[in-house]
Amino acid sequence: MKLRSFLAFAGFVMLIAATYCPLFRPFGITTWNMYDANKPYGIVVLLIAVVGIIGVVFMQASVARMAAWLSAILVFLFYILALLKIHTSFTFIPFHAVSRFLASKIKFKWGWWLLVAGPVLSLAGALGDKSRYKMPDQPQSDSQ
């Protein structure tokens, strides 16, 4: 396995592991992973990572590259959506100071580091420069 393929493989495995890591800690009571925050979105990210692993294992560079880009885009969107959700989840409270106080009690956890590092590694592996060596042509056998 080439180093680039290994980086892509490790990035996709890290992305799968990151979906189970704690991402949020609301009010210091419990921790939420991606599936607790948004289960369908977490399953889509998981499926994209599995497709990326399949692309790496079967040496389909275009599939692995597409999965790496999709995983990076999905993680970026998930971060933006998480920020929007945190800052708008208590807007039903008419007192803005109270709603800001409650929103400040939702903290990000260490799982975000893995969630970002996975797509970065997979992109580094999938977007690496093409191989400079060509596979030798197989001699044709004349079987008659």
DSSP one-letter string for 45-90: HHHHHHHHHHHHHTT-HHHHHHHHHHHHHHHHHHHHHHHHHHHHTT
Alpha carbons 126 and 56: distance in angstroms, whole number: 9
Average pLDDT (2-19) is 91
Domain boundaries, the chain: 3-126
Average pLDDT (88-108) is 84
pLDDT for 104? 83
**Average pLDDT along the chain:** 86
Question: What pTM does this model have?
Answer: 0.80
Is residue 141 scored above 80 in pLDDT? no
User: What does the pLDDT look like over 120-133, one tens digit per residue?
Assistant: 999 998 887 555 44
DSSP state, 129?
P
Better pLDDT: 135 or 18: 18
Residues 6+ apart with CB under 8 A from 109: 21, 22, 23, 24, 25, 31
Average pLDDT (51-68) is 92
